[in-house]
Amino acid sequence: MPDLAELLKNNRTIRVIGFDDAPFLRHTRESAAIAGVVCAGTRFEGMVWGKITPDGWDANAAILDLLLGGKFLPQLHILLLDGIGFGGLNLVDLPQLAEQLKIPCIAVMRREPKLAAMETAIARLPHPERRLELLKRAGTIHFSAPFVFQVCGTTPELAAAVLQRLTDCGKVPEALRLAHLIGAAVMKGESGNSA
């Protein structure tokens, strides 16, 4: 399979999956849903749907369960996440995910994260030191207008170029935008306006 630099250079289609969590009820025992949308460039091609535990420890396992052995993974060049926290503070281990899937993984944020506020929230949950370690493992936060992101498995420069290619308009790659809209529509009956 060609690498990202080659795909960009030759103006070839990049196949991506973008994961976002759906709205969920906090402070309940109910699971939270995650939507994974597969796009060829910015064109929708398919999706996966899974569950995670709010503020739990199973974000990586849920994503791996949806992809390993499935039909989409062999086609994918890159994986995008809407941040590293799903279902509240169920944090993804970004380097481990990239290593296990054998594709680059990028956590895209809508704005620079408020790390002090996150650390305060983490302190209220079980095993805060373990969560803080996952936060650190995600790596350096990079800025390449209009994107704010963390990346494992490729360079920040290549990641920024790929994000640009996968974004139709605005500052959110299409696979993440669609995952956000679909998650909201399934859980609330209609999509929101903040995609």
pLDDT tens digits for range 99-153: 999 999 999 999 998 989 999 999 999 999 999 999 999 999 999 999 999 999 9
- For residue 188, pLDDT beyond 80: no
pTM, to two decimals: 0.95
The better pLDDT of the pair 13, 171 is held by 13
- For residue 181, pLDDT beyond 90: yes
| Burial tier of 136 (Cβ tally within 10 Å: 0-12, 13-18, 19+) | exposed
Pairing mode, if any, of strands 105-109 and 147-152? antiparallel
Architecture of domain 4-184: 2-Layer Sandwich (3.30)
pLDDT tens digits, 85-103: 999 999 999 999 999 999 9
Tell me what pLDDT residue 194 has.
63
Tell me what pLDDT residue 195 has.
60
**Average pLDDT across the chain, whole number:** 94
Q: Is residue 182 within 8 Å of residue 47, measured between CB atoms?
A: yes
